Amino acid sequence: MVRYRRNFVPGGSYFFTVTLADRKSSALVDQIDILRSAFRQTQSKQPFAIDAIVILPDHLHAMFTLPTGDSDFPGRWRRIKGYFSTRLIVLGTAEKRRRNGDLALWQRRFWEHTIRDDDDFARHVDYIHLNPVKHGLVSRVRDWPLSSFQRYVREDLLPEDWAGDVADDQFDYGER
């Protein structure tokens, strides 16, 4: 049995990859309003900052910073996934179920990385914003609407033409 070790840093910043069980699904972009509502509802009950995010058809990448003294990122993901899944059940668009009856919409776990320093933070933000290009969904970062990239442009953190037309191997981002 694999033992998952999570690094719980109160007030820490984390990078996440969260994936649907069906990698051919487009539920995240098809039901984007419900997903946004899941994030808002969760933030209202367990506050956190979304430093960067990208929503793709079958998975998402996000960076959160938790409040001082709080390290419960698993609880936040449980709420987000649960809210989204429950709303899909209500709509009648629920996915398959596992043998134990649980909805089989999400992969059971998620991938998490504790951000170590400013360079690590910047690399992961770049990875998030470049991900739609990496997956061939667009040829320019600015063309993917479901990303925090547009917020970074509005806040003058990045120029609108950042990364131009890119191939996924042109940048140093993500894990080393």
pLDDT tens digit sequence for 76-125: 999 999 999 989 888 877 667 667 766 778 998 899 999 999 999 999 99
| Structural tokens at position 74 | 């698993």
Report which of residues 80 and 168 the model is more confident about: 80
Assess if residue 123 is contained within a domain.
no
CATH number of the domain encompassing residue 64: 3.30.70.1290
Q: Please tell me what DSSP assigns to residue 110.
A: -
β-sheet bridge partners, residue 52: 63
Number of other CB atoms surrounding residue 129 within 10 Å: 26
Assess if residue 1 is contained within a domain.
no
Q: What is d(CA 14, CA 28) in angstroms, rounded to the nearest whole number?
A: 21
Helix (H) or strand (E) holding 89: helix 73-91
Assess if residue 18 is contained within a domain.
yes
Sign of CA dihedral 95, 73, 37, 125: negative
Q: What is d(CA 51, CA 84) in angstroms, rounded to the nearest whole number?
A: 21
| pLDDT at res. 55 | 98
Structural domain total, the chain: 1
Assess if residue 103 is contained within a domain.
yes
**CA–CA–CA angle 70, 74, 77 (5° rounding):** 115
| pLDDT at res. 94 | 61
Nearest Cα residue to 56 out of 24, 85, 80: 24
Question: What is the rounded average pLDDT of the residues 34-57?
Answer: 98
| pLDDT at res. 104 | 74
Q: What is d(CA 111, CA 42) in angstroms, rounded to the nearest whole number?
A: 19
Assess if residue 165 is contained within a domain.
no
Assess if residue 126 is contained within a domain.
no
Nearest Cα residue to 141 out of 49, 52, 34, 16: 52
Assess if residue 113 is contained within a domain.
yes
Assess if residue 6 is contained within a domain.
no
pLDDT tens digit sequence for 134-158: 999 999 999 999 999 999 999 999 9
| pLDDT at res. 168 | 44
Report which of residues 18 and 1 the model is more confident about: 18
Domain interval for residue 90: 13-117
